[in-house]
C-alpha cells in the first residue's frame, strides 16, 4: 500500500512538473532520440517456440482511446504497459460483410483466423445472421485457438470483465448465427435445434475442457438469480427462464470425469482458491462485472481484471506443456457505447494494470504476449489543449464561442446528442457548466443514434516474446491466429509427434547405412 501511494504521488508530481515546465530544450530531445535509437538497434527477435501464449483484447480500444488513456493515466510522456513492446503491427478490422464490424465477427477473425459475418460467432461467412440451419453444418463451424491449444496438450483459459457468454469470448468455443443467443430465452422457437452460447460453453467441446473461466454472466447460466444493487440483472442481455443451472451441470461434468474443480464467486474466494485444481469457474456477476472504479473491493465484491488475470496464469502454469489464455478488457467498449469517455479511459488503464502484473510474473522468453483490440470507436481527440492539461477538460471554440470538450463522439445516444434550438438557431450546451471530469459525464456527439457506434479504423497489435517480430506491417485481423499457431506450434502448425519420430528414425537409419558403406 505504501509503495502504491508513492507511485500515485510520483505521477501527480510528474504531471505538475510537466505542466509547469513542459517546453523541453534541444538537449532533451537529442538525448531521448539517441536513447530510443540505441534501444531499437539492440532489439533481437526471439525465434524459439512459445510454450505459452497470452492474448489480451481491449474491446473497443482504438488508437484514440489508447492515446487519451495514456495521457489520462500516465501523462503525455508516459506509457501504458504494452507501449514499450518490441513489435507493433496494424490490423484491418472489417468483417466479411461490414466495413465497420462488431465484436463477435472480429473475435472470430482473431481466434479462428477466418472472417465472419456481422453478429455471427465461430462460423464462416456461409452463415448469415439468424441462419440456424447453416450454423449447424460441420464445414461452416470453425476451430479456435482454444481447440488447437487443447489438441496440443496445453491448458486453456479465458478471463473477461463481461459475461462469459458475451460476443468476444463466445468465438473461442461457440458456433452461433446470432451473438444475442446467449441463453435459451433469446433463441427463436424456429431455431430451437441450435444450442445457445451458454450451453455450448458448458456442454460441448472445447468449452467444457477449458481449464479456467472467469467473468460475469450468471443470469445466462442459471435461472432464478436475484437482482440487487450490488449485482443487478443485466437488462441488455438475455435472462434464462428454463429452470437451468448450468453451473451445477459444469460441476457434474467434472465430477463424472473424476477431475478436481472449484467454483468461485467473489474476491475472498478468488484470493483463497486452490492453485492445484484442474478446473476453475469464476462467475462474479449476473451480467457484466462492475466498472473498476465502481466495484466493491471487499471480500464479497467483484475482482479486478488484474486479480483474475494473475490467478488464471498461476492456475494454468502448472501444465508442463504450457497454456493459452485470452484476457478481455470488455468494459472499455461498454463505456464507449454509452458515451462515457472517462469510464472508457479508466477501464483502459485498468487493462494496462493487468498487463503490467502479467509481465511481472511470466517469462517472456517462453511466453508470447499479444495485445490488440477487436475494433475501434468513434471517439475523437481534438482541439488544441495545452500540455499538462486533462484530456477531459473543455476548450473554447473560435466560431460559436461555446466551449467543447477535447474528447467527442461521432455518434451517440440521447445523452450525448445535446443540440437544442433557441430562437430558431441550433446551439450546443456549454460543457463548462457541467463536471466534464465525472465518470457519468456524456461527451457531445454529432449524430443521434441509439448508442455510440463502432469505428471502422484500423487497430494496432503489440507483441513481446517468441515470434513477436512477425507483427511488422499492415495485416488482416485473421493474421493474429496464424502467428500464434506458428509461434506455439499448434493448430495448422502443430508438429505431428509420430511423424517427427518417424522422420528422425529414418534419418538415423540412413546415417548408419552411410557409415557402413564408408567402412
Q: Identify the active-site residue in 68, 69, 103, 191.
A: 103
Q: Is residue 20 part of a domain?
A: no
Confidence of residue 168 (pLDDT cuts 50, 70, 90): very high
Mean pLDDT computed over 117-146: 98
- What's CA 296's distance to the chain center, in Å? 22
Instruction: Report helix angle 479-488 to 103-112, nearest 10.
Output: 30
Which 3 state secondary structure label does DSSP give 273?
A: coil
- 78 with 192, same domain: the answer is yes
Q: Is residue 16 part of a domain?
A: no
Residue-wise burial string across 257-288, b where 16 or more C-beta atoms lie within 10 A, e elsewhere? eeeebbbbbbbebbeebeeebbbbbbbbbbbb
C-alpha cell, 457: 479504423
Is 118 annotated as a binding-site member?
A: no
434: containing domain: 394-406+415-448
Q: What is the CB neighbour count within 10 angstroms for residue 357?
A: 18
Q: Is the pLDDT of residue 518 over 90?
A: no
Mean pLDDT computed over 413-441: 94
Q: Is residue 436 part of a domain?
A: yes
Q: Is the pLDDT of residue 66 over 70?
A: yes
Question: CA geometry: angle at 179 spanning 176 and 182, to 5°?
Answer: 90
d(CA 415, CA 400): 21
pLDDT reported for residue 21: 62
Q: What is the pLDDT of residues 23-50, one digit of tens each?
A: 899 999 999 999 999 999 999 999 999 9
Q: Is residue 10 part of a domain?
A: no
d(CA 409, CA 416): 8
Confidence of residue 425 (pLDDT cuts 50, 70, 90): confident
Q: Is the pLDDT of residue 227 over 80?
A: yes
- 299 with 425, same domain: the answer is no
pLDDT reported for residue 505: 42
Q: Tally the domains of the chain.
A: 2
Q: Give one DSSP letter per residue of 221-266, joined into a string.
A: HBTTPPP-SSS---TTS----S--BHHHHHHHHHHHTT--EEEE-S
- 317 with 433, same domain: the answer is no
- 100 with 141, same domain: the answer is yes
Is 475 annotated as a binding-site member?
A: no
C-alpha cell, 323: 497454456
- 401 with 271, same domain: the answer is no
Is 34 annotated as a binding-site member?
A: no
Mean pLDDT computed over 384-389: 94
Q: Is residue 435 part of a domain?
A: yes
| Range name among 85-89, 395-399, 434-438 with the lowest pLDDT average | 395-399
Q: What is the pLDDT of residues 274-295, one digit of tens each?
A: 999 999 999 999 999 999 999 9
Mean pLDDT computed over 457-482: 98
- 284 with 426, same domain: the answer is no
Mean pLDDT computed over 166-191: 98
Return the CATH number at 126.
3.40.720.10
Q: Is residue 4 part of a domain?
A: no
- 90 with 231, same domain: the answer is yes
Look up cell 540412413; give the residue. Answer: 510
Is 374 annotated as a binding-site member?
A: yes
- 168 with 192, same domain: the answer is yes
Q: Is residue 326 part of a domain?
A: yes
Which 3 state secondary structure label does DSSP give 195?
A: coil
- 423 with 341, same domain: the answer is no
Q: Cβ(457)–Cβ(477) under 8 Å?
A: no
Q: Is the pLDDT of residue 18 over 60?
A: no
% of the chain beyond a pLDDT of 70: 91
Look up cell 449476473; give the residue. Answer: 286
Q: What is the pLDDT of residues 240-251, one digit of tens each?
A: 999 999 999 999
> What is the DSSP-derived secondary structure letter of residue 277?
-
Mean pLDDT computed over 256-272: 98
> What is the DSSP-derived secondary structure letter of residue 142?
P
- 289 with 370, same domain: the answer is yes
Confidence of residue 178 (pLDDT cuts 50, 70, 90): very high
Candidates 365, 367, 340, 356; CA nearest to 304 is 356
% of the chain beyond a pLDDT of 90: 88
Is 454 annotated as a binding-site member?
A: yes
Is 375 annotated as a binding-site member?
A: yes
Q: Is residue 15 part of a domain?
A: no
- 223 with 364, same domain: the answer is yes
190 in catalytic set: no
Please provide residue 235's backbone torsions phi and psi, each rounded to the nearest 5 degrees: -75, -10
d(CA 286, CA 268): 18
- 443 with 471, same domain: the answer is no
Q: What is the pLDDT of residues 479-506, one digit of tens each?
A: 999 999 999 999 999 987 544 334 334 3
d(CA 305, CA 288): 12
Mean pLDDT computed over 370-374: 98
Amino acid at each position: 500500500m505504501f509503495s502504491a501511494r508513492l507511485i500515485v504521488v510520483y505521477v501527480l508530481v510528474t504531471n505538475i512538473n510537466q505542466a509547469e515546465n513542459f517546453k523541453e530544450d534541444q538537449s532533451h530531445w537529442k538525448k531521448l532520440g539517441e536513447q530510443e535509437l540505441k534501444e531499437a538497434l539492440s532489439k533481437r527477435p526471439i525465434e524459439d517456440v512459445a510454450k505459452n501464449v497470452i492474448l489480451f483484447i481491449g474491446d473497443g480500444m482504438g488508437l484514440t482511446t489508447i492515446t487519451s488513456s495514456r495521457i489520462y493515466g500516465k501523462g503525455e510522456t508516459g506509457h501504458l504497459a504494452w507501449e514499450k513492446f518490441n513489435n507493433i503491427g496494424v490490423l484491418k478490422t472489417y468483417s466479411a460483410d461490414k466495413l465497420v464490424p462488431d465484436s463477435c465477427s472480429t473475435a472470430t477473425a482473431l481466434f479462428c483466423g477466418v472472417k465472419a459475418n456481422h453478429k455471427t460467432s465461430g462460423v464462416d461467412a456461409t452463415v448469415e445472421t439468424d441462419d440456424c440451419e447453416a450454423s449447424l453444418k460441420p464445414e461452416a463451424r470453425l476451430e479456435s485457438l482454444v481447440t488447437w491449444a487443447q489438441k496440443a496438450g496445453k491448458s486453456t483459459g479465458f478471463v473477461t470483465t463481461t459475461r462469459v457468454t458475451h460476443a468476444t469470448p463466445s468465438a473461442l468455443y461457440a458456433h452461433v448465427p446470432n451473438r444475442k443467443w446467449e441463453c435459451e430465452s433469446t433463441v427463436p422457437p424456429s431455431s430451437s435445434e441450435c444450442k445457445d452460447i451458454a450451453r455450448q460453453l458448458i456442454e460441448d467441446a472445447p468449452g467444457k475442457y477449458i481449464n479456467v473461466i472467469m467473468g460475469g454472466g450468471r443470469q445466462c447460466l442459471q435461472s432464478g438469480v436475484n437482482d440487487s444493487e450490488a449485482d443487478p440483472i443485466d437488462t441488455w442481455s438475455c435472462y434464462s427462464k428454463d429452470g437451468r443451472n448450468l453451473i451445477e451441470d459444469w460441476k457434474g461434468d467434472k465430477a463424472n470425469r473424476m477431475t478436481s474443480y472449484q467454483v468461485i464467486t467473489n474476491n475472498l474466494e478468488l484470493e483463497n482458491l486452490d492453485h492445484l485444481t484442474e478446473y476453475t469457474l469464476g462467475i462474479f456477476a449476473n451480467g457484466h462485472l462492475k466498472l473498476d472504479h465502481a466495484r466493491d473491493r471487499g471480500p464479497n465484491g467483484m475482482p479486478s481484471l488484474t486479480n483474475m488475470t494473475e490467478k488464471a496464469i498461476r492456475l494454468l502454469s502448472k501444465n508442463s506443456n504450457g497454456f493459452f489464455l485470452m484476457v478481455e478488457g470488455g468494459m472499455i467498449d461498454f463505456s464507449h457505447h454509452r458515451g462515457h469517455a472517462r469510464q472508457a479511459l479508466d477501464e483502459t488503464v485498468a487493462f494496462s494494470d493487468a498487463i503490467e502484473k502479467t509481465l511481472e510474473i511470466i517469462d517472456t522468453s517462453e511466453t508470447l504476449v499479444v495485445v490488440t483490440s477487436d475494433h475501434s470507436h468513434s471517439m475523437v481527440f481534438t482541439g488544441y489543449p495545452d500540455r499538462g492539461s486533462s484530456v477531459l477538460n473543455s476548450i473554447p471554440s473560435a466560431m460559436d464561442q461555446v466551449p467543447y470538450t477535447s474528447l467527442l463522439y461521432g455518434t451517440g445516444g440521447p445523452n450525448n446528442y445535446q443540440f437544442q434550438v433557441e430562437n430558431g438557431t441550433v446551439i450546443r450546451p456549454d460543457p463548462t457548466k457541467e463536471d466534464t471530469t465525472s465518470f457519468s459525464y456524456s461527451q457531445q456527439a454529432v449524430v443521434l443514434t441509439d448508442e455510440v457506434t463502432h469505428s471502422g479504423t484500423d487497430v494496432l497489435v503489440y507483441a513481446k516474446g517468441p515470434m513477436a517480430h512477425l507483427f511488422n506491417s499492415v495485416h488482416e485481423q485473421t493474421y493474429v491466429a496464424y502467428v500464434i499457431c506458428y509461434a506455439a506450434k499448434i493448430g495448422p502448425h502443430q508438429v505431428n509427434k509420430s511423424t517427427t519420430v518417424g522422420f528422425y528414425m529414418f534419418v538415423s537409419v540412413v546415417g548408419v547405412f552411410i557409415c557402413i558403406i564408408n567402412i
